[in-house]
Amino acid sequence: MRILAIDYGERRTGIAVSDKMGMTAQGLDTIEVKDESEIPDIVVQNAKDTGAETIVIGLPLNMDGTESEKSRKVREFGAVLAEKTSLPVVFWDERMTSMQAKRVMQELNKKTYRNKQLIDKISATLILQEYLKTI
């Protein structure tokens, strides 16, 4: 089962995809747009292109587990995706993924301030890796 994961952002959105067996995650792309209303159609096209059967969206929660204004925006984005595709949309706790992505960048000797697109793609990959551990 191929799964597409999203690290949603209003300007940049990271995308990762699993292998066909749903065991490993790989960064796919970072969408960078000026108008965030373009993002759902791009994600739906990526889902079609990869043959994804499920879409996992990172849900930004506060450290105490409560939802924030950004959580609400992500849930709205997920609702739009659900309307545009028949695929199940799953929300997944993304706390700490950006920090983990920055650590990965440091291990790769990449400058985080110059590679924000890569951080988003790595974050989507980390979200997907954590999700895959549970299925």
Give the CATH number, domain containing residue 81: 3.30.420.140
What whole-number percentage of the chain has pLDDT above 90?
A: 64
Helix axes 97-107, 116-132, angle to 10 degrees: 120
Q: pTM score, two decimals?
A: 0.86
Residue 2 has pLDDT above 90, yes or no: yes
DSSP element (H, E) containing 97: helix 97-107
Residue with tokens 């990965």: 104
DSSP element (H, E) containing 124: helix 116-132
Instruction: Tell me how far apart the alpha carbons of residues 132 and 89 are, in angstroms, rounded to a whole number.
Output: 14
Domain count of the fold of the chain: 1
Residue-number span of the structural domain to which 85 is assigned: 3-132
Show the tokens assigned to 13: 């959105």
